[in-house]
Amino acid sequence: MDYTDILFETADSVATITINRADRLNAFRGRTIEELLHAFKRCWADKNVAAVVFTGVGERAFCVGGDQKEFVETGSYGTSANGLWEVEALHRVIRDVPKPVIAAVNGFAIGGGHVLHLLCDVTIAAEHAQFGQVGPRVGSFDAGWGAAYLTHLVGQKRAREIWMFCRRYTATEMERWGLVNKVVAKEKLLEEARSWGREAAILSPTALRFLKASYNAGSAYVDGLAQMHDAGLSLYTQTDEGWEGRRAFDEKRAPDFTKFRK
């Protein structure tokens, strides 16, 4: 597959997958999701890959979720070559690939980008990284992995705060809440993440595979919620309320949801 939206490289048994859309703060579209799916499955199949580092290009953003400008311009985030919007498939493959997946958060991990880092096995963050959700502000939500799995990790009160108030959080705060494993200087981020991958490379791959499956079993119920969320969100994004959030974002103004309050 010829990648346009991501970069892919391997060294010392560690694969690095990088979202390469700096002009959109590494927001994803249909093509991006398709390429990420291909890259993660490539890592799954390659016996020479022991661990995966997942990051974004540059120092501004890891990923800020779905490309809102793309949606305003075209009416959707776009689809893959097979005509499907496969973000839920991407979520599942990050969880299911039987190798450690290490998020290297190099800036904003916002919205759908925050969900991506949640699904990785561990997260290493640069000191300047920022985390948070924006769905209720831009006419979107994630009632599957983004909400239910987040609750599994940080508890009800923290998860509700993150989603219901759309605040920004520092890497240090996220480390304290248990969503980040280690905070490092930005110039050391990628090497730190890759060093974790090299540590995993000397361990038993079968043991790691069983352990990852065991950890995933405790939150496997979220998969059903995620499928329900995907169906509901596809309907919501076409409503006047959903469009108000995206248009406000594109026009750089505060959204006006008052007429939708019941």
Predicted confidence at residue 150, as pLDDT, reads 97
Cα 41 from Cα 82, distance rounded (Å): 17
Interior CA angle at 112 toward 109 and 118, to 5°? 65
Q: Which two tokens stand for residue 58?
A: 């540059």
Taking the mean position of all CA atoms in its chain, how far away is CA 198? 23
- The 8-class DSSP code of residue 220 comes to T
Predicted confidence at residue 1, as pLDDT, reads 83
Can you spell out the DSSP letters for 7-76?
EEEEETTEEEEEE--GGGTT-B-HHHHHHHHHHHHHHHH-TT--EEEEEESSSSEEE-SB-HHHHHHHSS
Question: Is the full-model pTM beyond 0.95?
Answer: no
Q: Confirm if 100 and 212 have CB atoms less than 8 A apart.
A: yes
Intervals of the chain under pLDDT 50: none
pLDDT tens, residue by residue, 245-254: 989 988 999 9
Task: Enumerate residues 6+ apart whose C-beta is below 8 A from 174.
Answer: 123, 125, 129, 131, 180
Predicted confidence at residue 68, as pLDDT, reads 86
- Cα–Cα distances in angstroms (integers) from residue 47 to residues 92, 167, 201, in the given order: 20, 41, 11
Fold of 6-186+205-217: 2-enoyl-CoA Hydratase; Chain A, domain 1 (3.90.226)
Cα 73 from Cα 116, distance rounded (Å): 24
Cα 167 from Cα 155, distance rounded (Å): 17
In degrees and rounded to multiples of 5, residue 202 shows phi and psi of -95, 0
Q: Confirm if 143 and 235 have CB atoms less than 8 A apart.
A: no
pLDDT tens, residue by residue, 203-251: 999 999 999 999 999 999 999 989 889 899 889 989 999 999 989 988 9
Predicted confidence at residue 39, as pLDDT, reads 98
Q: Amino acid letter at 175?
A: E
Give the start-to-end residue ranges of the domains of the chain. 6-186+205-217
By DSSP bridging, strand 14-19 and strand 6-11 are antiparallel
Cα 133 from Cα 3, distance rounded (Å): 28
Predicted confidence at residue 18, as pLDDT, reads 98
Strand partners, 14: 11, 51
